[in-house]
Structure 1
Amino acid sequence: MKLARVLERVPRRFDPARLAAELARFGERDWIPCPSGALGSSAIPLVTAGGSANHELALAGPARPTAALGRCPYLEEVMGALGVPVARSRLVRLAGATEPPEAEEWNYHWFRRAPVCIPLVTSAAVTLSCGGEIAHMAAGEAWIFDNTRPHRLHNPSGESCVHLIVETRDPAGLLREQGGSLALEPYRFEVLSEEEVAALTEEILADPGRRPMTDAERLAFVETIEQIRRRWGAAFRRFGHQSTGELAYQDIILDVRERVMPKLAPKSAGMKAAAVIDTMLWMSPPAPRRFDRPATTKRSTDAEPLGCPEFERPLFVVAAPRSGSTLLFDLLSRFPDVWTIGGESHEILRAIPELHPAARGYSSDRLTEADASPGVAGALREGFARQLVDRRGQRYLDRPAHERPGRLRFLEKTPANALRIPFLRAVFPDALFVYLVRDPRENISSLVEGWRSRRFLAYRGMPGWPYRDWSFLLPPGWSSLEGRSLVEIAAYQWKAANAAIEEDLAALPASSWRRVSYDELIRRPGEVLLSIGKLAGLRWDEEVEKATSGVLPLSRVTLSAPSPDKWRRHEQELAALLPSLEPTTAKATTHADDLPQ
């Protein structure tokens, strides 16, 4: 938030000894990495979106105290005494002899908020610089600064320093009388108003630092800005500060990113204004490191001659998207006799004209035995065979023809297969299925996160869908979801996937499928894989044992740090939807944790 004064002491003073005593309650394991290092390299979150230990922005969910704050009554008293609503809060630690690079916070979250800094452990050498001004902050003092300007902490001493950072959208309130108990910022799905977008785009047009343009390019640029203003105004008048408008707002923001920002100079006033619009729907921190399987050396081409192997009792993992199926697939792919296509089969299926949703007017991703004509079945088997890799990443087609197995065990996982069990069973009559289920609150919340990441786009420019993109599987009845919130869309996808799986598996022999739970996979991965191995007749070896021992790695499609309480950022919306999901939830979780001994 832009402030009239870049660096100002707040008329509050807190007890340094009590602050230090609160800090002593924590050990090294309580500290987590900071996404931005200008104020410190590690942190202990105290107030966050949803209340788990995260760095997510305020739009992600209601502000709630973390378990760490519950251990620190004086820190809670300090935040209450500031007398302003708290959006987020954390302890940040900066190692000794450290001068991190300067940062400027030009994003939507900070467009509405300003930080307060209170030293807990410091020395006379530690300074806060902001916008060319420098402050030596004593322990227990409170300072507010304009972090849209270049700023950083500098710690030339030999010891770490620790500060309490409190974010508020009411910096003027810090100059009023001292407050009382801790007040949290009320949550709403707040976006820029029509007037705010008009003001920011005016800054873009007025920016003298734009990249050089011809007269024709300048006129086109002005027209682009006017179109964005008109579209934003229409969307805001329809949706206001409601999450049902998220996809409409996202499409306009993408236009700003693609059609406006490339015309602006880096760090110019126009670029900073555009960045506020561009980051309006930002919610999640950077993704953690991925868990990767060996990559294949090259892709197959249709020109390569191929004799298809026999797929003996192929094993299909079926589940709603974002249920943990990638982690299960990665673990199962460690079995010594298993072949996979190295990923998901979207491209293979859509390359068969009869199977592309366009052939059915984009009605859904549903496929049944009626779709499994001999020609389609043969094309699918060949498509799989061309991409086969073993657990080492070696391609089937890279082996000499006489060394390729004529029969093999095949593992496949594509979330849309939740709607295709009858089709798969018709193509592979001896197919086996592993049905993975996950708590609907966690699963739906992860689906929402996936939609927002735009990493799981399934269809672009789909007829009948007024937005740019569709993510994840396409369930029957999807057109009824126009104007719904992402939580509602994700809940519909979860319900459709699990209901279809339940109905289709019920028609199969019990010996051909097994239901397992995500929670059980996390708690007892070895036992889960052993039970699946017995179902499928897979051979166990040391590599499988190693893969299921100790802490499981993060899945390669993980978007944010795992936490059992991440779903609470959507708790209010989920509470209204869960009753309608209860019948499906009850069926999906029946005996999911019962593992054969």
Structure 2
Amino acid sequence: MKLDTEFIRLPLDFDVERLRQEVLAVPESSWRPHPQGHPGNSALPLIAAGGDPMNDTTRGPMAPTPNLEGCEYLQQVLASFGTVIGRARLMRLDGNSEATLHVDTNYYWAERVRIHVPIVTSDSITFQCGEQSVHMPPGQSWIFDAWRRHNVLNPTGDRRIHLVADTVGSAQFWDLVSRGTRPFAPDPTAAPFTPQLVPHRPGEVARVEIEQHNFPPVMTPWELETLVREVVYDGLAPRPGGTDADVRHFRGSTDAMVRQWRAVWARYGGGPEGLSTWRSLLAAYERGIEAVRGRLVLPNGTDPVGIAHQLIIESALDEQLLAREAVRPQAAPATTRPRLEPAAAPRPARHTSRFDRPIFIVAPPRSGTTLLFETLSRSPSVWTIGDESHRAIESIAPLHPGARGWDSNRLGASDARPDVLEALEGNFLAGLRDRDGHRPADDAHGLRLLEKTPKNSLRVPFLDAAYPDARFVYVQRDPRESLSSMIAAWESGRFVTYPGLPGWTGRPWSMLLTPEWRKLADRELAEVVAEQWRMTSEILIADLERLSPERWGVVGYHDLVADPQGQVERLCGFLDIEWDEALDQELPLSRYTLTAPKPEKWRQHADQLERVLPATAGVARRGRELLARPVTLRSRIEDGAPDPTSPYRSVSAGNLPEILTGLGATLLASTYQTGKLVAVRALGNGLNTHFRPHESPMGIAYQDGRLAVGTHSQMWEYQNLPQLTSQLTPPDRHDACFVPRSVSYTGDIRVHDVAWAGDELWMVATRFSCLATLDGQHSFVPRWKPPFVSAIAAEDRCHLNGMAVVDDRVRYVTALGVSDEPQGWRDHKADGGVIIDVDSGEVVVSGLSMPHSPRWHRDQLWVLESGQGSLARVDLEAGTVETVAELPGFTRGLAFAGPLAFVGLSEVREATTFGGLPLTARLEDRQCGIWVVNIETGETVAYLRFEDVVEEIFDVTLLPGMRFPELAEHGSDLVNGAFVVPPEALVG
């Protein structure tokens, strides 16, 4: 909403400590990434459309989400504003990040003001609006002009959390605003500003008025005139290259449309009889103003043509909303204690189903669900309708997206009404056949329905309410492959689902309809499919994780293709269905295959994917990690033996067990992509890989019983306490036990290498382009930066990443470029890498391809030239490197023992930071694991290769003298119940 000043502080303050208690008690799993994938931004929905925390739309009746249930004071805070509350969320911003500069141009926010209540913040965090900025202290309440460009900057290492609520206001609310204070437009005649504290009232049930109506079926001419006059025309001017004639054209087209809208309203009112006339009027207006797109500008920098699209063309008419009003259930009264739907809502009464544990295959489009469906349909136990269930579901009027304002294919538990379920089951039964084409008997019960459509990935709460005994199978596939296939599907025109989707002007809409699809207008096709895939995956995974574990399982697409017999037998065991066929090694193509699959087929769209894959990375990682879930009740694995079904499985070659046994050592590796520390230990004649969770672990360092691990925002220090091994199982196997002794909160400084220099722990603060240490008081203490870097700033100017310690001093470092500009190293990442002498500040070697992990060994400096995939020896006098070995992956992480180098290898994706490197041109198939190289001959003598979800290694170190150590987890019974005190404390 537009205000007459940038910021207004409201005269209500709140109990900060109580707010923090409630907010920090919410489990991390309830937080969601920002809907647009902005890095460092996340949200906890409190009030959302339909009460669904996964629904980011602003259309439809709002209701509390389950997240609000245990937050008594948050409910009291919302009620204290005395107004109808619309969408409300907790918005979280990580350290060293920003909210992104933007304007709220959606119709919803043109009509609503946004309330902010800071809960967790720091003095240096600022809110920018227009040309002004303020710090909002915790416990206060503010509103701001969302029509101006605004942003939030968090340069600290701390997280910021605000309560953010949208409201149209009320008489009581605007009275609060009138008594507020305006930092940049003070009123000398105003009464003294005296904020009132709203205390927590234990046990009091807050009466929160919740928004039930937001978008009109037909906008009244009076609202339309107001929007045009106060928003679209205010400050309208030509851009450079535009003219006053363009302004007149735009105003003339808009004025004509508004006048005609009034005339049509006078004839039809808001009734459906005028639908075709409304539609034609908006289409003509859209054609008229497109001629001046890009030639005009409003004071906030936006294009009035785009604004007219959002406020008028997309919002003045919702031709499906009239039908929706006729079919949706009556909304609950708004002035009650919040209903906690859908999670806590009682299931609707329904008839006895003829289905027993129906099976739903779910995944984003083009993930292999059809292949799995067609394979499992050959089981003698299942019944199917032979194809996807689009018509069976969407022919029921309340379940069609058109009856729901075209919001999406999302369905919730409240949609599972008895009449709807009767119709749905009837549609399924009408087409049901077994594998031989036979229909079930008219009185048959206990039928095992097998069904699949990607749209059901957005309907898990509905299907769960309809069939509480249902089973779900999630097919996980690499997003590169799915996205490439989705692009091809859109381009083919064979997968159009909603050809006349109101408000959509691109290619005919294909595949499933995701929430917030309107924001994808005018986006490139790759962006559209990436958002389809990302949002579907995020919603699906969150919904599945709310089910009991025995009701859902995961299968990897590549596992299914590589081992169809084994994977299908495991799935059938999990689903409790029969299997009596022998499958060929290569499954037949599914009916919807466009072209025959090839491992690298996705590369045909590599250029388009490079721009959009980063937005999918977070949820893709969650999908890969879900492969750790068993899809059947496995037999007990013998103690210490590898699990062949584990997504963390690995294979080894050469004599790595013998090497570790001979050294009496354990290899320790970090993999930030899967959030694990990995201890590689010899066990009998084989290897044991022992995984311990950490949040994005990177640099690791060991010295004299002390182990340091740098993570996303912390530095962990462990101590080896061998006396605790007696409490481990079996006690005679372990010879060391590392227990966490301290943790320092650094913030997200992007710590890379860490190393002990004497007794002092040093780290590379890559985000701040410096070397640093800890002092127990600050996030970090900068100790050195390259001479070409002019300031300590969170801008990753040169991507400083590695350091080598010589004689207990940090002596050499690696960086990916010589740059003093934010992210400047990226311009020459393939050949701009350098090694720098810390003492002199001089660049001693240049022209390297992404150097990492410099190490001093045998009076010689070694480095991994990661972009080449090589291990190299450095000639400091000549300023050159000599390649000792080229390896089959992105080399990063290096440790030595005599003539052996232990080198970490990572798979790299071209469509990321690693695109355009010599390594990607040299090798199509890159490996992940730890390779052992003889530095005297350059030969690989052994390796450990990971085969599934582990795709990168950051650091590698050796734990000498420890053949089978334990890494005790924070919060474990071992840590909580073990007490180690100095021996002298026990004397006497």
TM-score, structure 1 as length reference: 0.51
Answer yes or no: is 1:74 the counterpart of 2:73. yes
Alpha-carbon separation, structure 2, partners of 1:454 and 1:248 = 26
Which residue in 1 is equivalent to 2:219?
192
1:150 shift after superposition: 1.1
Which residue in 1 is equivalent to 2:312?
277
Report 1:206-217 matches (<5 A). 207-209=236-238, 212=242
Change (3 A) 1:212 1:328: closer
- Whose Rg is larger? 2
Which residue in 2 is equivalent to 1:83?
82
Change (3 A) 1:226 1:143: closer
Query: Deviations 1:391-425 (Å, cap 9, x if unpaired)?
Result: xxxxxxxxxxxxxxxxxx9xxxxxxxxxxxxxxxx
1:142 shift after superposition: 0.2
1:282 shift after superposition: 10
Change (3 A) 1:517 1:116: same
Alpha-carbon separation, structure 2, partners of 1:26 and 1:170 = 28
Change (3 A) 1:277 1:505: same
1:324 shift after superposition: 7.8
2:41·2:91 contact (CA, 8 Å) conserved in 1?
Answer: yes
1:324·1:518 contact (CA, 8 Å) conserved in 2?
Answer: yes
Report 1:332-481 matches (<5 A). 332-333=370-371, 433-434=386-387, 436=389, 444-445=398-399, 447-448=401-402, 452=406
1:39·1:153 contact (CA, 8 Å) conserved in 2?
Answer: no
Choose the corresponding residue for 1:263, options 281, 284, 292.
Answer: 292
Choose the corresponding residue for 1:511, options 438, 444, 447.
Answer: 438
Query: Deviations 1:174-220 (Å, cap 9, x if unpaired)?
Result: 354689632112325425321232344457578332774797x8887
Alpha-carbon separation, structure 1, partners of 2:286 and 2:274 = 18
Counterpart of 1:511, as a letter, is H
Counterpart of 2:401, as a letter, is L
Describe the SS at the equivalent of 2:386: strand
Aligned length: 383
Which residue in 2 is equivalent to 1:43?
43
Change (3 A) 1:325 1:141: closer
Alpha-carbon separation, structure 1, partners of 2:385 and 2:219 = 50
1:107 shift after superposition: 2.0
Describe the SS at the equivalent of 1:45: strand
Counterpart of 2:312, as a letter, is I
Describe the SS at the equivalent of 2:97: coil
Counterpart of 2:69, as a letter, is G
Deviates more, 1:218-227 or 1:22-31: 218-227
Alpha-carbon separation, structure 2, partners of 1:219 and 1:194 = 21
1:81 shift after superposition: 1.0
Answer yes or no: is 1:181 the counterpart of 2:181. no
1:436 shift after superposition: 3.5
Change (3 A) 1:161 1:449: farther
2:126·2:134 contact (CA, 8 Å) conserved in 1?
Answer: yes
CA RMSD of aligned residues (A): 5.5
1:276 shift after superposition: 1.9
Change (3 A) 1:133 1:281: same
Which residue in 1 is equivalent to 2:23?
23
Which residue in 2 is equivalent to 1:169?
168
Counterpart of 1:99, as a letter, is E
Alpha-carbon separation, structure 1, partners of 2:256 and 2:421 = 36
Counterpart of 1:181, as a letter, is R
Report 1:54-69 matches (<5 A). 54=54, 56-58=56-58, 60-69=59-68
2:364·2:457 contact (CA, 8 Å) conserved in 1?
Answer: no
Alpha-carbon separation, structure 2, partners of 1:66 and 1:45 = 7
Change (3 A) 1:231 1:435: same
1:90 shift after superposition: 0.3
Query: Deviations 1:1-31 (Å, cap 9, x if unpaired)?
Result: 1112320100101001001101121222111
Choose the corresponding residue for 1:331, options 369, 375, 387.
Answer: 369
2:224·2:258 contact (CA, 8 Å) conserved in 1?
Answer: yes
Alpha-carbon separation, structure 1, partners of 2:512 and 2:79 = 39
Change (3 A) 1:93 1:2: same
Which residue in 1 is equivalent to 2:141?
142
Unaligned runs of 5+ in 2: 177-195, 199-205, 319-360, 379-383, 410-419, 441-447, 461-472, 487-510, 516-534, 543-574, 579-988
Describe the SS at the equivalent of 1:433: coil
Percent of aligned pairs with the same amino acid: 24
Change (3 A) 1:31 1:224: same
Report 1:501-540 matches (<5 A). 511=438, 516-517=450-451
Alpha-carbon separation, structure 1, partners of 2:477 and 2:247 = 61
Alpha-carbon separation, structure 1, partners of 2:260 and 2:11 = 44
Describe the SS at the equivalent of 1:197: helix
1:201·1:273 contact (CA, 8 Å) conserved in 2?
Answer: no
1:189·1:242 contact (CA, 8 Å) conserved in 2?
Answer: no
1:502 shift after superposition: 6.3
Deviates more, 1:194-203 or 1:152-161: 194-203
Alpha-carbon separation, structure 2, partners of 1:63 and 1:546 = 30
Choose the corresponding residue for 2:261, options 210, 232, 237.
Answer: 232
Deviates more, 1:155-164 or 1:247-256: 247-256
2:394·2:400 contact (CA, 8 Å) conserved in 1?
Answer: no
Unaligned runs of 5+ in 1: 284-322, 339-408, 410-430, 456-492, 526-544, 567-593
Counterpart of 1:121, as a letter, is V
Counterpart of 1:193, as a letter, is T
Alpha-carbon separation, structure 1, partners of 2:158 and 2:122 = 9
1:434 shift after superposition: 4.2
